[in-house]
Amino acid sequence: MKRIAAKMLVTPSGIMADPIVTIEGEHILEISTRSAQQTAHIDYDFPDRTLTPGLLDIHFHGIAGQDVMNAFHEGFEDIAHSLARVGVSRFLPTTVTASLDATMLALERMADYIHADPIAGTSQAAGIHIEGPFLSHAKRGMHSAEHLLSPSPELLDQLWEAARGNIRLMTIAPELPGALETIKHATALGIRSSMGHSMATRAEAIAGIKSGIVSATHTFNAMRAFDHREPGILGVVLDQEDLYADLICDGYHVAPEAVRLWLKAKGQERAILITDCLSAAGMPNGKYMTGETVVHVEGDACRTDTGVLAGSVIALDRAVSNLSKTARAELHTAVRLASINPARMLGLPESLVPGALADFNVYDAEGVRRECFIRGSLIE
Ligand SMILES: [Zn+2]
């Protein structure tokens, strides 16, 4: 048994002062306060720091040279180690659009990793996100045009079987023929649907929500632009109170004004931070392959040969600190958007509550992440 004390604790239900978190093995046994446990032995004391839930990245393509589309078991181990070092305790490996055969093989390897025994002190793959093949040609971004497919429940079943039931999230353009019945089928399987890479009109986006869409993928990016008479998918995403909406907060994908408008519109309960990061994340400046596309990394920006922004090269802890600066968000809000909200959207177990895995980060008084505990172990 281990006891960890701090100044503050961010939990799904709010903020708590002078917490003591008791860990038994990999799980949280109890959350109490210093005054309630005055004589208890404390193993780690952080008197001026805040404990926050472990981060959860639901849109993640790779890091440190490893791409989830090509990774085998060792590659996923490297990924899981790299993520633990930046405070990400759970992630959804996310496909990019590829041939159906390549996608099925990637899903099989992801499922193999998810079913393998977890390695101590590493991030956990908590399911799979399929980004494509059900995307709009007009808003495909860097997804391969030749491999985009019309959605159908039968095709989703094929992907579901290859992934052995581990798909948790699907990005889909709701205006495509067959999309609405595919979204209904996804919901029946337990998959959350998120609209994105889409030219949907207002009416098409609303029809998607009525069929089961619960979130939006990288808000503003790869979406029909807002018009005051045809607000389109973006207007619906920002307006519909119950809809979650995620965003890439890397300083390049979305301008600061748009980040702040998004946060005002979605609020602390429905906004989600993602990275959309590629295998070039955590690598020096240079030229890299992502799937079959060449990308150039310079600082925190990653562009294709034609200068189009590809995914990001930041990890989720950076998105949290970027949001704190861009939107002057308090630490507990910024962290919540990258931990509690995505877990709720997906229906995954919550963090920093009794019975949960002991996954949490320790932030100093300046809002800088210092330590990370994963399944009860301090990550060095
Ligand atoms: Zn995308």
* pLDDT, mean of residues 279-301: 88
Distance in Å, CA 293 to ligand 1 centroid: 14
- HEC states along 351-366? CCCCCCECCEEEECCC
Distance separating alpha carbons of residues 42 and 35, to the nearest angstrom: 13
Separation of CA 15 and ligand 1 centre (Å): 33
What was the pLDDT predicted at 286? Answer: 92
Rounded to the nearest angstrom, the distance between the alpha carbon of 11 and the centre of ligand 1 is 30
Same domain? 149 vs 46: no
Ligand 1 center to 303 CA (angstroms):
14
Say if residue 42 is in the same domain as residue 60.
no
- E-assigned strand segments in 239-282: 245-248, 271-274
Distance of CA 276 to the CA centre of its chain: 8
Task: Answer yes or no: is 202 within a domain.
Answer: yes
17 lies in the same domain as 78 = no
Nearest-angstrom CA–CA distance, 379 and 362: 11
Q: Which of 250, 276, 317, 359 is catalytic?
A: 276
- 3-class SS at 126? coil
Res. 39 pLDDT band, cuts 50 70 90: confident
- Rounded Cα distance between 63 and 76, Å, is 10
Q: To the nearest whole percent, how much of the chain has pLDDT over 70?
A: 100
- Confirm if 315 and 31 have CB atoms less than 8 A apart: no
31 with 107, same domain: the answer is no
Note whether residue 221 is domain-resident.
yes
Which residues are bridge partners to 62 per DSSP?
Answer: 67
The verdict on whether omega for the bond into residue 133 sits within 30 degrees of 0, i.e. cis, is: yes
Task: Please compute the mean of the pLDDT values over residues 308-323 and round it to a whole number.
Answer: 93
Q: Would you say residue 281 lies in a domain?
A: yes
Q: What is the CATH number of the domain that holds 13?
A: 2.30.40.10
Domain match, 126 and 37 both: no
| Residue 351 belongs to a domain | no
Rounded Cα distance between 84 and 349, Å, is 18
Selection from 170, 164, 172, 212 nearest residue 191 by Cα? 170
355 alpha-carbon distance from chain centroid? 23
Average pLDDT value for residue range 299-323: 92
pLDDT digit string (tens) for 147-174?
999 999 999 999 999 999 999 999 999 9
Q: 65 falls in which pLDDT band (50, 70, 90)? A: very high
pLDDT for 27 equals 97
Question: For 105-145, what is each residue's pLDDT tens digit?
Answer: 999 999 999 999 988 999 999 999 999 999 999 999 888 89
Half-sphere exposure of 315 (CA within 13 A, CB side): 22
Q: Are residues 11 and 75 in the same domain?
A: no
Ligand 1 centroid, distance to 27 Cα (angstroms): 34
Instruction: Indicate if 59 and 47 belong to the same structural domain.
Output: no
At 372, give phi and psi (nearest 5°).
Answer: -140, 130
Ligand 1 mean position, distance from CA 197 (Å): 7
Say yes or no: 256 and 148 in one domain: yes
DSSP letter string, 129-178: EEE-SS--GGG-TTS-GGG-----HHHHHHHHHHTTT-EEEEEE-TTSTT
Whole-number Å distance, alpha carbon 349 to ligand 1 midpoint, is 26
Q: Give the mean model confidence (pLDDT) for residues 189-194.
A: 98
Please say if the pLDDT value at position 6 is more than 80. yes
| Residue 145, Cβ density class (10 Å: 0-12 exposed, 13-18 middle, ≥19 buried) | exposed
Task: Tell me what the mean pLDDT of segment 297-320 comes to.
Answer: 91
Q: How far is the CA of 50 from the centre of ligand 1 (A)?
A: 33
Mean pLDDT, the chain, rounded, equals 95
- Looking at residue 293, its pLDDT comes to 81
Q: Is the dihedral of CA 157, 163, 169, 171 positive or negative?
A: negative
Q: Is the pLDDT reported for residue 292 higher than 80?
A: no
Domain annotation covers residue 19? yes
Inform me whether the pLDDT recorded for 246 exceeds 80: yes
Of 362, 270, 256, 349, the closest CA to residue 317 belongs to 362
Note whether 98 and 195 are same-domain residues: yes
Same domain, yes or no, for 184 and 47? Answer: no
Q: List the domain range (segments joined by +) for residue 20.
A: 2-51+356-378
Tokens coding 29:
């046994």
Nearest to 143 by CA among 250, 61, 201, 254: 61
Answer yes or no: do 47 and 96 share one domain. Answer: no
Scan for tokens 């980004």, then name that residue: 131
Out of 30-44, 51-65, 102-116, least confident range? 30-44
- CA–centroid distance, residue 96 to ligand 1 (Å): 8
What letter would DSSP give residue 83? H
* pLDDT of amino acid 36: 87
Residue 317 annotated in active site: no
Q: How far apart are CA 98 and CA 89, in angstroms?
A: 27
Report the CATH number that the domain containing residue 266 is assigned in CATH.
3.20.20.140
What is the whole-number distance in angstroms between the Cα of residue 51 and the centre of ligand 1? 31
Count of structural domains, the chain = 2
Token code pair at residue 222: 């790869």
Q: Which of 369, 274, 376 is nearest to 10 (CA)?
A: 369
pLDDT on residue 252 = 94
- Neighbouring residues of 188: CB distance < 8 A, sequence distance ≥ 6: none
- Are residue 134 and residue 89 in the same domain, yes or no? yes
